[in-house]
Amino acid sequence: MSDSEGVASAVLAVDLGGTTMKGAVVDAAGRTVHEEAWPTPTGGELVIRVLGDLLVALRARGERLGLRIVAGSVVSPGTIDDATGMIGYASNLGWRDVPLASLMAERVGVPVVIGHDVRAAGLAEQRLGAASGVEDFVQVSIGTGVAAALFDSGTVALGATRSAGELGHIPVIPDGELCTCGQRGCLEVYMSGAGLARRYAARGGDVLQAERIVARLGSDPIADAVWADAVHALALGLTTVTLLLDPALVVLGGGLSRAGDSLLAPLRVALDDQLAWRSAPRIAVSTLGSDAGRIGASVLAFRSVGRDDVVSGWQREGVLAG
């Protein structure tokens, strides 16, 4: 993809998280030619300013590499209107009613499209990853919190308020523990990085990150107990999703998806037990890992300037080469 002078075109892609914003310059072959990871600051206005700084730095780097930057994309958690680029609410970022697309476009000087981070990851998995060739699937991200993207007949469900997929806030335990959202018994109270760490410490364990708690499974009774609760909660949530949407596949991403058989083996058994009268969907772990958000953002950026034909030619090996 090049302009009339033969200059190769590229896009900017940022996967914005609560702790880190990962940015990349991606060329028309889907290759990451430059990437940077910046800490996400605390405070809504400051996040906007630093995000703009990152996009400007990425554009400058791309142009120094001889590329013509045609668009940008930011994928973010929260309630997002994909059509307008408005962030309705993103608790981890301190945002409410932020017109992010217009703010970033004005700052960086190219069109910027905004997308939901888990929907973008699901789009990437559908094109190049674990959901390749599958039209009906659920992408689930299990990190600090839990969120999902719901794909039905190849199309992602958005919902009336653009908040479809709040799997983490399905109440799965009646009168369960209080969630930060104000409800009780939400899935992510039990199965999430923050929930697992909090419940482990509350039962007398050390103050540890979730990954270190998982590493103690089999040798630590407290870790075993909170993990069993977490898997049970996730199975209940996926049972509801399965009965409502009938997906062929559930793709697990995010930090806790890397727990491997410690997660997959008991989850498959629990989901089979819950779905007494029908078979469970296949469960797989993301094959794109932490690259999924960046790849999805790149797809959205090229699409926003009418170049979906460019994306259709991408190959997994080239996209992941970087």
Angle, CA 252 vertex, CA 248 and CA 256 arms, to 5°:
160
Residue 180 confidence (pLDDT)? 85
**Model confidence band, residue 166 (pLDDT cutoffs 50, 70, 90):** very high
Looking only at the bridges linking them, the beta strands covering 68-76 and 32-39 are unpaired
Query: Domain coordinates of the chain in residue numbers?
Result: 9-121+289-321, 132-285
Q: Which CATH architecture describes the domain 9-121+289-321? A: 2-Layer Sandwich (3.30)
Same fold, 9-121+289-321 and 132-285: yes
pLDDT in tens, 237-296: 999 999 999 999 999 999 999 999 999 999 999 999 999 999 999 999 999 999 999 999
What percent of the chain clears pLDDT 90, i.e. is strictly above it? 84
pTM score, whole prediction: 0.91
Residue 91, pLDDT > 90, answer no
What distance in Å separates the CA atoms of residue 187 and residue 166, rounded to the nearest whole number? 10
Residue 63 confidence (pLDDT)? 97
**Per-residue tokens: 167:** 């799997």
Q: Which CATH superfamily is domain 132-285 in?
A: ATPase, nucleotide binding domain (3.30.420.40)
Looking only at the bridges linking them, the beta strands covering 32-39 and 20-27 are antiparallel
**Model confidence band, residue 322 (pLDDT cutoffs 50, 70, 90):** low
Three-class DSSP category at 190: helix
**Per-residue tokens: 154:** 């190849």
Alpha carbon of 108 to those of 24, 59, 105, 160, 287: distances in Å? 14, 7, 5, 31, 32
E strands, 53-94, are: 68-76, 79-81, 86-90
